[in-house]
Amino acid sequence: MAADLLALIRMNGSVPAHVAVIMDGNGRWAQERHLPRPFGHREGMKAVREVVEGCLEAGVEVLTLFAFSEENWQRPASEISALMRLLEEYIAKEVHELREQGVAVHVLGERSRLAPAARAAVERVERETAGGLRLVLNLCISYSSRAELARAARLLAEEVLDGTRQVDDIDEEAIRAKLYTAPWRDPDLLIRTSGELRLSNFLLWQLAYTELYITPVLWPDVTRRDLFQAILDYQGRERRFGKVTA
Ligand code: FPP
């Protein structure tokens, strides 16, 4: 049970509205058990469920998960197909409950690279959960931050070429509005599991003033208690956004 931590969170007050997570350590979790890597990814799916439910309980509004990077396409074909099957399975299994829970799922990334079955699953979950009002769940799939920024630059350049935008109008807000994450505020809290101290090409623009929380726990071992610990840690931070305190 994690009710003790939840009670503390509620007492402290300010819950991060947007939590982003680099779910890392699935491979190591499997290797420690002498299992093939996809077993770690499968176990990682349970942790996704835990963290989604934890966000609903704590009152987080947006949860953005790094599920598959553009760089991950370079992994062995067997691991890629296992991950894609898992994505399809996750959607097939969870779509009804996500809808019941009021979770609206969005998939961020270069979806043209997904196989037709995975793309159909992604479109289905977005369509069927579109009315969710309690939590936005962003799944970053075939996502990399530099590719997202290059795409934003291309979109702005096209507008300049077709005459709908002046070069002088390209400011931070214009770039922000072309990112996949445009509808949502920047993450307040980034959690990375498995102890690595890197951003791995994830939300480089959006994380400018995000509080970082690194835990050694491997992703498949994560429960809502780990999420609550991270939120409690966040609640003790002083956020200055580059300014000084009054
Ligand atoms: C990183 O661990 C994790 C991934 C590349 C995949 C994340 C996928 C899931 C958690 C399961 C499916 C999720 C959804 C939303 C359906 P790693 O393989 O890089 O681990 P390692 O660093 O220990 O090798």
pLDDT, tens digit, for every residue of 153-198?
A: 999 999 999 999 999 999 999 999 999 999 999 999 999 999 999 9
Site residues for ligand 1, CB cut-off 6 Å: 23-28, 41, 44-45, 48, 65, 67, 72, 86-87, 90, 139, 194, 219
List the one residue out of 14, 55, 20 whose CA is nearest residue 213: 20
d(CA 143, CA 111): 9
Angle between helices 77-101 and 116-128 (to 10 degrees): 10
- Do 154 and 212 meet the contact criterion of CB atoms below 8 Å apart? no
C-alpha 184 chain-centroid distance: 12
Closest ligand 1 atom to residue 87 Cα is 16
Nearest Cα residue to atom 1 of ligand 1: 24
Contact 156, 165 (CB under 8 A): yes
**What is the value of pTM for the model shown?**
0.97
- What six digits make up the tokens of 91? 């959607």
Q: Is residue 221 part of a domain?
A: yes
pLDDT tens digits for 209-244?
999 999 999 999 999 999 999 999 999 998 888 888
What is the number of structural domains in the chain?
Answer: 1
Q: Which residues are catalytic?
A: 24, 72
53 belongs to a structural domain? yes
Structure tokens at 238: 């002083």
| Residue from 22, 23, 129 to probe ligand 1 pocket by mutation (most atoms less than 8 Å from CB) | 23
Q: Is residue 1 part of a domain?
A: no
Instruction: Decide if 132 is inside a domain.
Output: yes
CA distance 47 to 82: 17
Q: Is residue 5 part of a domain?
A: no
Query: Domain holding 198: CATH number?
Result: 3.40.1180.10
Q: Is residue 27 part of a domain?
A: yes
Judged by DSSP in three states, 20 sits in: strand
For ligand 1, the distance from its centroid to the CA atom of residue 57, given in whole angstroms, is 24
Residue 95 binned pLDDT confidence (cut-offs 50, 70, 90):
very high
Burial of 165 per CB tally in 10 Å (0-12, 13-18, 19+): middle
Whether 125 contacts 105, CB under 8 Å? yes
Q: Is 203 contained in some domain? A: yes
CA distance 91 to 121: 7
Q: Between 60 and 242, name the one with better pLDDT.
A: 60
Mean pLDDT of 107-123: 96
Question: Is 125 domain-assigned?
Answer: yes
Range of the domain at 55: 18-144+187-233
The residue whose CA is least distant from atom 16 of ligand 1 is 87
Residues 6+ apart with CB under 8 A from 162: none
Question: Which of 41, 98, 144, 217 has most ligand 1 atoms within 8 Å of its beta carbon, as the pocket-test mutant?
Answer: 41
